[in-house]
Amino acid sequence: MLPDVAGALTGILAVLSVAVTTLVIDRTMYLGASTTFVRAAGYVEQVVIPENVQANEYLQQNRPRVDWQMMVVGGIFIGALISARLGRSAKLETVPPIWKERFGTSATLRGVGAFIGGMILMFGARLADGCPSGHGLSGNMQLAASGLLALVFFMVGGIITAHLLYKK
Amino acid sequence: MDLFLGLATGILFGFFLQKGEVLRFEKQVGFMLLKDMTIIKFMMTAVLVGMVGIYALHGIGMISLSIKSANIGALVIGGLLFGIGWAIAGFCPGTSVGALAEGRIHVLWAIAGMVVGAAIFAEAYPLLQRTVLTWGAYGKVTLPQMLGVSPWLVIAVFIIVGLSAFRLFEKKGL
Protein backbone atom coordinates (compact mmCIF):
# COMPACT_ATOMS: atom_id res chain seq x y z
CA MET A 1 0.00 0.00 0.00
CA LEU A 2 1.31 3.45 -0.87
CA PRO A 3 2.22 5.58 2.17
CA ASP A 4 -0.17 8.36 1.09
CA VAL A 5 -3.09 5.89 0.88
CA ALA A 6 -2.21 4.39 4.27
CA GLY A 7 -1.92 7.93 5.63
CA ALA A 8 -5.32 8.99 4.26
CA LEU A 9 -6.90 5.89 5.84
CA THR A 10 -5.20 6.82 9.13
CA GLY A 11 -6.70 10.31 8.83
CA ILE A 12 -10.17 8.82 8.40
CA LEU A 13 -9.49 6.48 11.34
CA ALA A 14 -8.46 9.39 13.58
CA VAL A 15 -11.65 11.32 12.76
CA LEU A 16 -13.84 8.23 13.22
CA SER A 17 -12.16 7.52 16.55
CA VAL A 18 -12.84 11.09 17.72
CA ALA A 19 -16.51 10.81 16.63
CA VAL A 20 -17.11 7.33 18.08
CA THR A 21 -15.46 8.00 21.46
CA THR A 22 -17.49 11.21 21.78
CA LEU A 23 -20.75 9.37 21.03
CA VAL A 24 -20.08 6.17 22.97
CA ILE A 25 -18.02 7.10 26.03
CA ASP A 26 -18.76 10.85 26.05
CA ARG A 27 -15.05 11.68 25.95
CA THR A 28 -13.28 12.95 22.84
CA MET A 29 -10.12 10.92 22.34
CA TYR A 30 -7.30 12.00 20.05
CA LEU A 31 -4.51 9.63 19.00
CA GLY A 32 -1.30 9.76 21.01
CA ALA A 33 1.37 7.40 22.29
CA SER A 34 4.01 8.89 24.57
CA THR A 35 1.97 9.22 27.81
CA THR A 36 1.72 5.42 27.77
CA PHE A 37 5.49 5.25 28.33
CA VAL A 38 5.12 7.35 31.49
CA ARG A 39 2.49 4.91 32.79
CA ALA A 40 4.80 2.03 31.82
CA ALA A 41 7.64 3.65 33.78
CA GLY A 42 5.23 3.89 36.74
CA TYR A 43 4.47 0.18 36.47
CA VAL A 44 8.20 -0.66 36.53
CA GLU A 45 8.82 1.67 39.48
CA GLN A 46 5.92 0.08 41.38
CA VAL A 47 7.95 -3.14 41.43
CA VAL A 48 11.40 -1.64 42.08
CA ILE A 49 10.80 1.58 44.06
CA PRO A 50 7.05 1.74 44.87
CA GLU A 51 7.38 4.67 47.32
CA ASN A 52 8.69 6.88 44.49
CA VAL A 53 5.48 6.42 42.47
CA GLN A 54 3.50 7.85 45.39
CA ALA A 55 5.95 10.69 45.94
CA ASN A 56 6.39 11.78 42.32
CA GLU A 57 3.99 14.44 41.11
CA TYR A 58 4.27 13.56 37.42
CA LEU A 59 3.69 9.84 38.01
CA GLN A 60 0.65 10.76 40.10
CA GLN A 61 -0.71 12.89 37.26
CA ASN A 62 -0.12 9.96 34.89
CA ARG A 63 -0.73 7.01 37.18
CA PRO A 64 0.28 3.49 36.16
CA ARG A 65 -3.03 2.18 34.81
CA VAL A 66 -4.38 0.70 31.59
CA ASP A 67 -6.27 3.44 29.77
CA TRP A 68 -7.59 4.13 26.26
CA GLN A 69 -4.21 5.26 24.92
CA MET A 70 -2.33 2.25 26.33
CA MET A 71 -4.82 0.02 24.51
CA VAL A 72 -4.14 1.97 21.31
CA VAL A 73 -0.40 1.37 21.72
CA GLY A 74 -1.01 -2.34 22.40
CA GLY A 75 -3.34 -2.43 19.42
CA ILE A 76 -0.62 -1.00 17.15
CA PHE A 77 1.47 -4.09 17.97
CA ILE A 78 -1.41 -6.44 17.09
CA GLY A 79 -2.38 -4.54 13.92
CA ALA A 80 1.20 -4.40 12.66
CA LEU A 81 1.61 -8.11 13.43
CA ILE A 82 -1.53 -9.01 11.43
CA SER A 83 -0.49 -6.78 8.53
CA ALA A 84 3.09 -8.11 8.47
CA ARG A 85 1.82 -11.72 8.53
CA LEU A 86 -0.82 -11.22 5.85
CA GLY A 87 1.58 -9.31 3.60
CA ARG A 88 4.55 -11.57 4.45
CA SER A 89 6.57 -8.43 5.09
CA ALA A 90 7.93 -9.25 8.56
CA LYS A 91 11.69 -9.14 8.67
CA LEU A 92 14.04 -10.12 11.48
CA GLU A 93 16.41 -7.19 11.83
CA THR A 94 19.09 -6.69 14.47
CA VAL A 95 21.10 -3.94 12.73
CA PRO A 96 19.43 -1.76 10.04
CA PRO A 97 21.41 -1.09 6.78
CA ILE A 98 22.03 2.66 7.25
CA TRP A 99 23.37 2.03 10.77
CA LYS A 100 25.47 -0.93 9.54
CA GLU A 101 27.11 1.15 6.85
CA ARG A 102 28.23 3.75 9.37
CA PHE A 103 28.80 1.82 12.61
CA GLY A 104 29.31 -1.80 11.53
CA THR A 105 27.48 -5.04 12.26
CA SER A 106 27.66 -5.04 16.09
CA ALA A 107 24.19 -5.68 17.51
CA THR A 108 25.48 -4.52 20.92
CA LEU A 109 26.53 -1.11 19.60
CA ARG A 110 23.18 -0.79 17.82
CA GLY A 111 21.42 -1.75 21.07
CA VAL A 112 23.31 0.92 23.02
CA GLY A 113 22.44 3.51 20.34
CA ALA A 114 18.78 2.54 20.30
CA PHE A 115 18.62 2.73 24.11
CA ILE A 116 20.29 6.14 24.38
CA GLY A 117 18.20 7.48 21.48
CA GLY A 118 15.00 6.17 23.05
CA MET A 119 15.89 7.81 26.38
CA ILE A 120 16.60 11.23 24.84
CA LEU A 121 13.57 11.21 22.52
CA MET A 122 11.15 10.31 25.30
CA PHE A 123 12.52 13.01 27.61
CA GLY A 124 12.03 15.46 24.74
CA ALA A 125 8.55 14.16 23.93
CA ARG A 126 7.38 14.57 27.52
CA LEU A 127 8.89 18.05 27.76
CA ALA A 128 7.14 19.02 24.50
CA ASP A 129 3.99 17.26 25.82
CA GLY A 130 3.67 14.97 22.81
CA CYS A 131 5.29 12.94 20.04
CA PRO A 132 4.67 12.60 16.27
CA SER A 133 1.29 11.01 17.11
CA GLY A 134 -0.02 13.46 19.70
CA HIS A 135 1.50 16.63 18.22
CA GLY A 136 2.32 15.57 14.66
CA LEU A 137 -0.98 13.92 13.79
CA SER A 138 -3.59 14.94 16.38
CA GLY A 139 -2.24 18.43 17.06
CA ASN A 140 -1.94 19.38 13.41
CA MET A 141 -5.36 17.92 12.54
CA GLN A 142 -6.78 20.38 15.07
CA LEU A 143 -4.62 23.21 13.68
CA ALA A 144 -2.96 23.59 17.10
CA ALA A 145 -0.10 26.10 17.20
CA SER A 146 1.73 23.68 19.52
CA GLY A 147 1.37 20.82 17.02
CA LEU A 148 3.00 22.70 14.15
CA LEU A 149 5.80 24.11 16.31
CA ALA A 150 6.57 20.68 17.81
CA LEU A 151 6.62 18.94 14.43
CA VAL A 152 8.96 21.56 12.94
CA PHE A 153 11.43 21.16 15.82
CA PHE A 154 11.17 17.34 15.79
CA MET A 155 12.25 17.52 12.15
CA VAL A 156 14.96 20.16 12.63
CA GLY A 157 16.54 18.16 15.47
CA GLY A 158 16.21 14.90 13.53
CA ILE A 159 17.56 16.18 10.22
CA ILE A 160 20.62 17.89 11.77
CA THR A 161 21.46 14.89 13.98
CA ALA A 162 20.97 12.33 11.20
CA HIS A 163 23.26 14.27 8.88
CA LEU A 164 25.96 14.53 11.56
CA LEU A 165 25.57 10.88 12.52
CA TYR A 166 25.11 8.94 9.28
CA LYS A 167 26.55 11.13 6.51
CA LYS A 168 30.14 10.38 5.62
CA MET B 1 -15.89 0.18 26.63
CA ASP B 2 -13.20 2.85 26.28
CA LEU B 3 -10.54 0.12 26.46
CA PHE B 4 -12.22 -1.83 23.68
CA LEU B 5 -12.44 1.27 21.48
CA GLY B 6 -8.76 2.03 22.13
CA LEU B 7 -7.76 -1.50 21.16
CA ALA B 8 -9.82 -1.45 17.94
CA THR B 9 -8.40 1.95 16.96
CA GLY B 10 -4.86 0.79 17.75
CA ILE B 11 -5.19 -2.39 15.67
CA LEU B 12 -6.32 -0.41 12.60
CA PHE B 13 -3.65 2.25 13.22
CA GLY B 14 -0.94 -0.44 13.46
CA PHE B 15 -2.28 -2.11 10.30
CA PHE B 16 -2.03 1.14 8.31
CA LEU B 17 1.38 2.03 9.75
CA GLN B 18 2.74 -1.35 8.69
CA LYS B 19 1.11 -1.25 5.25
CA GLY B 20 2.48 2.26 4.66
CA GLU B 21 5.98 0.95 5.54
CA VAL B 22 6.56 3.79 8.00
CA LEU B 23 7.57 1.55 10.92
CA ARG B 24 11.09 1.00 9.60
CA PHE B 25 14.33 2.58 10.84
CA GLU B 26 15.35 2.95 7.17
CA LYS B 27 12.27 5.03 6.35
CA GLN B 28 12.48 7.21 9.45
CA VAL B 29 16.21 7.92 9.18
CA GLY B 30 15.83 7.99 5.37
CA PHE B 31 13.54 11.00 5.80
CA MET B 32 15.95 12.70 8.22
CA LEU B 33 18.69 12.28 5.60
CA LEU B 34 16.19 13.78 3.11
CA LYS B 35 16.45 10.73 0.85
CA ASP B 36 13.03 9.15 1.31
CA MET B 37 9.76 10.99 1.97
CA THR B 38 7.65 7.92 2.82
CA ILE B 39 6.89 8.97 6.40
CA ILE B 40 6.14 12.55 5.33
CA LYS B 41 3.69 11.39 2.66
CA PHE B 42 1.96 9.22 5.27
CA MET B 43 1.81 11.99 7.83
CA MET B 44 0.77 14.67 5.35
CA THR B 45 -2.23 12.82 3.93
CA ALA B 46 -3.27 11.70 7.43
CA VAL B 47 -3.19 15.29 8.70
CA LEU B 48 -4.88 16.83 5.63
CA VAL B 49 -7.74 14.31 5.66
CA GLY B 50 -7.92 14.56 9.45
CA MET B 51 -8.15 18.36 9.62
CA VAL B 52 -11.08 18.44 7.18
CA GLY B 53 -12.92 15.76 9.17
CA ILE B 54 -12.16 17.24 12.59
CA TYR B 55 -13.24 20.77 11.63
CA ALA B 56 -16.37 19.45 9.87
CA LEU B 57 -17.41 17.63 13.06
CA HIS B 58 -16.38 20.60 15.20
CA GLY B 59 -18.32 22.95 12.91
CA ILE B 60 -21.58 21.07 13.49
CA GLY B 61 -20.90 21.08 17.23
CA MET B 62 -20.48 17.34 17.53
CA ILE B 63 -16.98 17.23 19.03
CA SER B 64 -14.71 19.38 21.15
CA LEU B 65 -11.06 20.09 20.38
CA SER B 66 -8.24 19.05 22.69
CA ILE B 67 -5.48 21.59 22.13
CA LYS B 68 -2.11 21.27 23.87
CA SER B 69 -0.54 24.40 25.33
CA ALA B 70 1.82 26.43 23.17
CA ASN B 71 4.73 26.54 25.65
CA ILE B 72 7.40 27.88 23.32
CA GLY B 73 10.41 27.02 25.52
CA ALA B 74 9.27 23.45 26.15
CA LEU B 75 8.25 22.88 22.52
CA VAL B 76 11.55 24.15 21.10
CA ILE B 77 13.87 22.42 23.60
CA GLY B 78 11.70 19.29 23.90
CA GLY B 79 11.19 19.18 20.15
CA LEU B 80 14.92 19.42 19.42
CA LEU B 81 15.74 16.78 22.07
CA PHE B 82 13.09 14.52 20.56
CA GLY B 83 14.66 15.01 17.13
CA ILE B 84 18.16 14.18 18.39
CA GLY B 85 16.96 10.97 20.06
CA TRP B 86 14.74 10.10 17.09
CA ALA B 87 17.73 10.21 14.70
CA ILE B 88 19.82 7.96 16.95
CA ALA B 89 17.03 5.48 17.75
CA GLY B 90 15.36 5.53 14.32
CA PHE B 91 11.93 4.98 15.84
CA CYS B 92 9.29 7.14 17.51
CA PRO B 93 7.04 6.09 20.43
CA GLY B 94 3.95 5.14 18.40
CA THR B 95 5.82 3.24 15.70
CA SER B 96 8.18 1.44 18.09
CA VAL B 97 5.71 -1.24 19.19
CA GLY B 98 4.66 -1.80 15.57
CA ALA B 99 8.29 -2.15 14.50
CA LEU B 100 8.70 -4.86 17.13
CA ALA B 101 5.71 -6.74 15.66
CA GLU B 102 7.38 -6.48 12.26
CA GLY B 103 10.52 -8.21 13.53
CA ARG B 104 12.89 -5.26 14.02
CA ILE B 105 14.07 -6.59 17.35
CA HIS B 106 16.68 -3.89 18.00
CA VAL B 107 13.69 -1.64 18.71
CA LEU B 108 13.37 -3.44 22.08
CA TRP B 109 16.38 -1.42 23.28
CA ALA B 110 14.77 1.78 22.06
CA ILE B 111 11.51 0.92 23.88
CA ALA B 112 13.47 0.20 27.09
CA GLY B 113 15.26 3.55 26.65
CA MET B 114 11.92 5.31 26.20
CA VAL B 115 10.59 3.91 29.50
CA VAL B 116 13.77 5.03 31.28
CA GLY B 117 13.56 8.44 29.58
CA ALA B 118 9.98 8.83 30.85
CA ALA B 119 11.12 7.96 34.40
CA ILE B 120 13.96 10.52 34.21
CA PHE B 121 11.51 13.17 32.97
CA ALA B 122 9.20 12.41 35.89
CA GLU B 123 12.11 13.12 38.30
CA ALA B 124 13.04 16.33 36.48
CA TYR B 125 9.43 17.54 36.25
CA PRO B 126 9.32 19.76 39.38
CA LEU B 127 12.43 21.64 38.23
CA LEU B 128 11.20 21.91 34.62
CA GLN B 129 7.84 23.16 35.82
CA ARG B 130 9.51 26.10 37.52
CA THR B 131 11.80 26.84 34.56
CA VAL B 132 11.43 25.68 30.93
CA LEU B 133 7.67 25.16 31.14
CA THR B 134 7.13 28.80 32.10
CA TRP B 135 9.17 30.21 29.18
CA GLY B 136 6.84 31.67 26.58
CA ALA B 137 3.60 29.97 27.68
CA TYR B 138 0.86 31.11 25.31
CA GLY B 139 -1.84 28.63 26.32
CA LYS B 140 -4.12 26.40 24.27
CA VAL B 141 -4.21 28.34 21.02
CA THR B 142 -4.94 27.28 17.42
CA LEU B 143 -3.44 28.75 14.25
CA PRO B 144 -6.76 30.26 13.06
CA GLN B 145 -7.23 31.87 16.50
CA MET B 146 -3.72 33.31 16.37
CA LEU B 147 -4.21 34.67 12.85
CA GLY B 148 -7.81 35.76 13.43
CA VAL B 149 -9.08 33.93 10.36
CA SER B 150 -11.49 31.07 9.58
CA PRO B 151 -10.08 27.57 10.16
CA TRP B 152 -11.15 26.69 6.61
CA LEU B 153 -8.78 29.30 5.20
CA VAL B 154 -5.90 27.73 7.14
CA ILE B 155 -6.98 24.26 5.98
CA ALA B 156 -7.09 25.48 2.34
CA VAL B 157 -3.53 26.82 2.68
CA PHE B 158 -2.32 23.53 4.22
CA ILE B 159 -3.92 21.54 1.39
CA ILE B 160 -2.29 23.71 -1.29
CA VAL B 161 1.13 23.57 0.41
CA GLY B 162 0.73 19.82 1.00
CA LEU B 163 -0.20 19.01 -2.59
CA SER B 164 2.67 21.17 -3.90
CA ALA B 165 5.13 19.36 -1.64
CA PHE B 166 3.72 16.07 -2.83
CA ARG B 167 4.24 16.96 -6.49
CA LEU B 168 7.80 18.04 -5.74
CA PHE B 169 8.55 14.70 -4.01
CA GLU B 170 7.08 12.75 -6.93
CA LYS B 171 9.07 14.80 -9.44
CA LYS B 172 12.32 14.22 -7.54
CA GLY B 173 11.50 10.56 -7.00
CA LEU B 174 11.73 10.80 -3.19
Please write the tens of the pLDDT for every residue from B122-138.
999 999 999 999 999 99
Kindly list the residues from chain A whose CB atom is less than 8 angstroms away from the CB atom of residue B140.
Answer: 144, 146
The pairs formed by B147-156 with CB atoms below 8 angstroms and a separation of 24 or more are B151/A143, B151/B55, B152/B55, B154/A143, B155/A143, B155/B51, B155/B52, B155/B55
Could you tell me the pLDDT band of residue B174, with boundaries at 50, 70 and 90? confident
ipTM surpassing 0.95, yes or no? yes
Q: Cβ A79–B10 below 8 Å, yes or no?
A: yes
User: What are residue A49's phi and psi, to 5 degrees?
Assistant: -135, 70
A125 and A34 in contact (C-beta within 8 Å)? yes
Measured CA angle at B102 (ends B98, B106), to 5 deg: 85
Kindly list the residues from chain A whose CB atom is less than 8 angstroms away from the CB atom of residue B117.
Answer: 37, 118-123, 126
Distance CA B14, CA A72 (A): 9
- Per-residue pLDDT, averaged over A105-123, amounts to 98
> pLDDT at position A62, please?
97
Kindly list the residues from chain B whose CB atom is less than 8 angstroms away from the CB atom of residue A73.
Answer: 10, 93-94, 97
Which chain A residue's Cα is nearest to B143?
A: A145
Q: What is the dihedral of CA A34, A35, A41, A45, to 10 degrees?
A: 170
Kindly list the residues from chain A whose CB atom is less than 8 angstroms away from the CB atom of residue B72.
Answer: 149
Could you tell me the pLDDT band of residue A58, with boundaries at 50, 70 and 90? very high
Alpha-carbon gap: A26 to the closest alpha carbon of chain B (Å): 10
Distance CA A120, CA B120 (A): 10
Distance CA A68, CA A92 (A): 30
Interface contact A134, partner B, CB < 8 A: yes
From first CA to last CA, the distance across chain B in angstroms is 42
